Amino acid sequence: MIVNIIGELLKIIIIFSVIMGIVAYMTLMERRFLGFFQLRLGPNRVGPGGLLQPIADGIKLLFKEDMTVLHARSFYFILAPIISFVAVLLCFAVIPFSGTMYITDLSVAVLYLMAISSAGVYGVLLGGWSSNNKYSTLGAYRAAAQMISYEIPMALALAGVLILSGSMSLVDIVNAQKGLWYIVMQPVGFLIFFIAVSAETNRTPFDFLECENELVAGYQTEYSSMKFGMFYMAEYAHILLASCLITVFFLGGWNGPVLPALVWFFAKVFAVFFLFVWIRATYPRLRYDQLMAFSWKFLLPLAFLNLMISAVLVVALH
Amino acid sequence: MAPSLSLFVYTLLVVGTAVAIILLSHFLGKRPLTDEKTIPYECGMDPLDTRKHRFSIKYYIVALLFVIFDVEIVFIYLWAISVRDMGLFGLLEMFIFVGILLVAFVYAWIKGGLTWES
């Protein structure tokens, strides 16, 4: 009994540390990949091949001036990065990295994911609103409207997966993909989910959160020190979460021949992450009215159509 | 351990880490600051007003539409995991439900609720 509990505790701590480690090194990976895409080297001076760069960044951020803007609502100003960080990392509680490597296997995991990840909007909105800065406030409103608009197509695309799996538990969903990955049965759902999730994580074609040339970094303008660092970590954790979700829902999770489950899972996650970086290096930013129209007038009807057709086909074939 | 207990422990760990990082940077970071440094950054202009930021009504409409569709997605999820067993009955029921929603959706579209540019 006690051995059991200690084992579980160790598992939780190990999973959390591994996630934080991956998030730290994802920042380095992205910067180096972007460097290669732009025919330059990226950060390669700190440690062998730049491997100690994330640690150096972390230490630097910790010792920076910890400032709060004049007239800012300081409680919310400090609370916002914490909300962002916690909301994203809590989602990892239900991600199954392999058949046994997960923190908990909730029977309503998909609902849990939607609920917790939506709370991340509060971090962005409160961060911008409380900084007493016009650019931050504008950026926060934009980002919040964008995130809630793309959440609906994302959730509807997942409903297509739920029809096929008949269960909301992520472990069951991965087990149901032993034979055929859901990307084959739900290609439209996959595309909708991929687009919506890159809008949720505010990746480049949709990065209205930052808009460095018109909003001077949006809601983050007034943040410095580790408060900025937490937003930064939350952003990369969100990308990791998006890669994990795509792997779990559409790419068969840890399923795969010969190699161990964990290797398969992280290979797929890495491939999806690389795709995100590739897209960031390739596409320019959209216009804001195009972005909103694309979600409401195109993705949402398409997601409904996809859902209904999947339902009819599943019932007809059953 | 029970699933909810693992989740609780993990939540404590995540929240604890977040608070610890903020506290650590608070105590390690340099201070004091000059007053000029804490003025909001507005590309070199002195801020004209404080805390009076109005926002466009369109954000409000988007939020309203979001609430409608988000609540409905909870129903759709519950239906989605059991549609296989419900068969034709469940299918027809969902078509009626989505049909009613589509009426509202088309209404919002015609009224210009989904159009961003004015």
Q: What is the per-residue pLDDT across A15-62, written as a single tens digit (0 to 9) for each? A: 999 999 999 999 898 889 889 998 988 888 888 888 888 888 888 888
Residue by residue, DSSP assigns A208-221 as TTT-HHHHTTGGGT
**Structure confidence at residue A274 (pLDDT):** 92
Q: Is the pLDDT of residue A86 over 90?
A: yes
- Min Cα distance B112 → chain A (Å) is 11
Of the candidates B39, B80, B105, the beta carbon closest to that of A162 is on B80
Task: Sort out which chain B residues have CB atoms less than 8 A from A105's CB and list them.
Answer: 3
Between vectors from CA A83 to CA A58 and to CA B6, what angle results, nearest 5°? 90
Of the candidates B6, B18, B63, the beta carbon closest to that of A230 is on B18
Contact between chains at B43 and A159 (C-beta distance less than 8 A): no
Q: Which fold has domain B3-110?
A: Methane Monooxygenase Hydroxylase; Chain G, domain 1 (1.20.58)
Between vectors from CA A50 to CA A47 and to CA A56, what angle results, nearest 5°? 70
Which of A156, A213, A249 best tests the B interface by mutation, with the highest count of B CBs <10 A?
A156
Q: What is the per-residue pLDDT across A104-122, written as a single tens digit (0 to 9) for each? A: 888 888 999 988 888 888 9
Q: What is the largest CA-CA distance in chain A?
A: 64
Q: What is the per-residue pLDDT across A7-27, written as a single tens digit (0 to 9) for each? A: 888 888 999 999 999 999 998
Contact between chains at A227 and B22 (C-beta distance less than 8 A): yes
CB-based contact A193:A34 (threshold 8 Å): no
* Cα distance between residue B113 and residue A73, in whole Å: 32
Task: Sort out which chain B residues have CB atoms less than 8 A from A137's CB and list them.
Answer: 53, 55
Task: Sort out which chain B residues have CB atoms less than 8 A from A308's CB and list them.
Answer: 94-95, 98
3-state secondary structure of B74: helix
Nearest-CA residue of chain B relative to A143? B59
Q: Is the pLDDT of residue A211 over 70?
A: no
**Segments making up each domain of chain B, as ranges:** 3-110
Q: What percent of chain A has pLDDT over 90?
A: 19
Q: Is the pLDDT of residue A243 over 90?
A: yes
**Structure confidence at residue A83 (pLDDT):** 92
Q: Is the pLDDT of residue A92 over 80?
A: yes
Kindly give the interhelix angle for A187-200 and A300-317, rounded to the nearest 10 degrees: 150
Task: Sort out which chain A residues have CB atoms less than 8 A from B59's CB and list them.
Answer: 141, 144-145
- Residue A132 φ then ψ, to 5°: 55, 50
Q: What is the per-residue pLDDT across A119-154, written as a single tens digit (0 to 9) for each? A: 888 988 888 888 877 778 888 888 888 888 888 999
Nearest-CA residue of chain B relative to A4? B1
* Cα distance between residue A276 and residue A260, in whole Å: 25
Q: Is the pLDDT of residue A242 over 80?
A: yes
- Please name the residues between 201 and 260 in chain A that touch chain B, using a CB distance below 8 Å: 216, 221-222, 225-227, 229-230
In Å, how far are A82, A108, A242 from A229, measured between CA atoms? 11, 32, 20
Residue A171 CA neighbour count, 13 Å, CB half? 14
Chain B contact present for A53, CB below 8 A: no
**Structure confidence at residue A212 (pLDDT):** 60
- Min Cα distance B104 → chain A (Å) is 13
Q: Is the pLDDT of residue A216 over 80?
A: no
Between vectors from CA A79 to CA B16 and to CA B26, what angle results, nearest 5°? 70
**Structure confidence at residue A21 (pLDDT):** 92
Task: Sort out which chain B residues have CB atoms less than 8 A from A61's CB and list them.
Answer: 25
- List all residues 6 or more positions away from B34 whose beta carbon is below 8 Å from its beta carbon: none
* Cα distance between residue A283 and residue A285, in whole Å: 7
In Å, how far are A54, A95, B70 from A271, measured between CA atoms? 21, 17, 31
- Please name the residues between 270 and 289 in chain A that touch chain B, using a CB distance below 8 Å: 288-289
**Structure confidence at residue B2 (pLDDT):** 72
**Structure confidence at residue A188 (pLDDT):** 92
Q: CB-based burial of residue A308 (10 Å sphere; 0-12 exposed, 13-18 middle, 19+ buried)?
A: middle
**Structure confidence at residue A190 (pLDDT):** 92
Task: Sort out which chain B residues have CB atoms less than 8 A from A297's CB and list them.
Answer: 109, 114
Could you tell me the two tokens for A250? 């559409």
pLDDT under 70: residue ranges of chain B: 1, 32-33, 42-52, 118
- Min Cα distance B63 → chain A (Å) is 7
Q: What's the mean pLDDT in A85-104?
A: 88
Residue carrying structure tokens 């998006």 = A242
Q: What percent of chain A has pLDDT over 70?
A: 97
Average model confidence (pLDDT) across chain A: 86
Amino acid code (one letter) for A48: P
- Please name the residues between 12 and 31 in chain A that touch chain B, using a CB distance below 8 Å: 12-13, 16, 20
Nearest by Cα to A166 from A11, A16, A318, A6: A318
Q: Is the pLDDT of residue A67 over 80?
A: no
What ipTM goes with this model?
0.86
Q: What percent of chain B has pLDDT over 90?
A: 9
Nearest by Cα to A230 from A56, A58, A12: A58
Residue A214 pLDDT level (bands cut at 50, 70, 90): low
Contact between chains at B91 and A311 (C-beta distance less than 8 A): yes
Nearest-CA residue of chain B relative to A142? B59
Nearest by Cα to A203 from A134, A147, A149: A147
